Amino acid sequence: MISTKDVNPPDISELDDQLNAAERDAEHLTAGIDEKTGTFRSGGWSVAECLDHLAVTNRVYLGAMKEPAMSARRDGKVRRGPARPGVFGRWFVASLEPPIRLRFKAPKMIEPGPSPSLANALAAFRSSQNEVHRFLEASADLDLPGVYFANPFLNGIRVSVATGLNVILAHERRHLWQAWRARKAAESSLR
């Protein structure tokens, strides 16, 4: 876990805290479970598949945000206010929060890999978290609500980097919630 509390504005530190909370949740989720429990499917994705999906999604979303952030830096688009989503962004972020009310089919490009192992999925999730931390730290001084990128999953939709970061966090909470349910189902079924 990386901390940016001492050097960044409160909203950036809050995003960083949410990343750290997701990491702690994933560690608690996977603590003490074996491979069979972590890869057990009961009508939905397994714990490992949820973590793998998060890792892949984080990388794709970050990949879409990096070039616009670099362009903003070159153009001198410095921070003008907190990294908060606009009206559409707030609605979209809220729609991702658990408990799951709206279901979305994951685009092919971010579906979990075929039968990921629990250890590999957790390692991939940790690695993607580090990438998000680094991006957040490197972009903290930019006008994140004023920098837009093409959403890689919704053709023709552009959202702010501030929205993108909040989407990543809500999406993580959504699938960690799903993974906890998968763990409980596995533990009940495998007794």
For residue 30, give the nearest of 53, 11, 51 by alpha carbon.
Answer: 51
**What's the whole-model pTM score?**
0.92
> Is the distance from CB of 85 to CB of 166 less than 8 angstroms?
yes
**Cβ atoms of residues 142 and 66 within 8 Å:** no
CB neighbour class for 137 (10 Å; exposed up to 12, middle 13-18, buried from 19): middle
Confidence of residue 104 (pLDDT cuts 50, 70, 90): confident
Q: How far apart are CA 122 and CA 141, in angstroms?
A: 30
In this prediction, residue 101 carries a pLDDT of 76
Residue 33: strand, helix, or coil: coil
pLDDT per residue over 51-97, tens digit each? 999 999 999 999 999 999 999 999 999 999 999 999 999 999 999 99
Higher pLDDT, 191 or 131: 131
Task: Return the minimum-mean-pLDDT range out of 7-11, 26-30, 158-162.
Answer: 7-11
Q: What is 10-189's CATH number, 1.20.120.450, 3.40.30.10, 2.40.128.130, 3.60.70.12?
A: 1.20.120.450
The pLDDT, as a whole number, for residue 42 is 84
pLDDT, tens only, 31-58 = 999 999 999 998 899 999 999 999 999 9
What are the residue ranges spanned by the domains of the chain? 10-189
